[in-house]
Amino acid sequence: MNKVLLSGRLTRDAEIRNADSDKKVARCTLAVNRDFKKEGDGPNADFIGLVAFKNQANFLEKYGKKGTKFIVTGRIQTGSYDKDDTKIYTTDVIVENLEFAESKNSGESTSTGDGFTDLPDLDVIPFN
């Protein structure tokens, strides 16, 4: 099984290109934070290339702006091409589904620091 689940922020606006017969292809890079960091290491994130087609490409064209946080599900796809007599290997995530990971007004909510938002105390539990 080849399945990937990522959560991160776009490093730049999604790049949109038209493929055959007016179908769109979107490419972008997702910065995914690491849970750990060694002393002296470089960035505390991995930068994952995303490729989206059809509806997902249309979604990224409209909402895929730098800094936007997304949850992405997809599959890993490897490939290669020749450039100047050198073989270049690629690894991308082919987007199957993506959704916003935070609301536009998320700065107003209180976060617990682990990705969850605190709910207000309720005097009455709405379900039993």
The tokens for 106 are 């998320």
Three-state DSSP class for residue 55: helix
* All structural domains of the chain: 4-102 (2.40.50.140)
Q: What is the pTM of this model?
A: 0.73
CA distances from 6 to 22, 37, 55 (A): 29, 18, 19
Pairwise CA distance, residues 25 & 60, whole Å: 10
Which pLDDT tens digits describe the chain residue by residue (128 residues)? Answer: 999 999 999 999 999 998 776 789 999 999 998 877 666 666 688 999 999 999 999 999 999 999 999 999 999 999 999 999 999 999 999 999 999 988 765 544 444 445 555 555 555 555 54
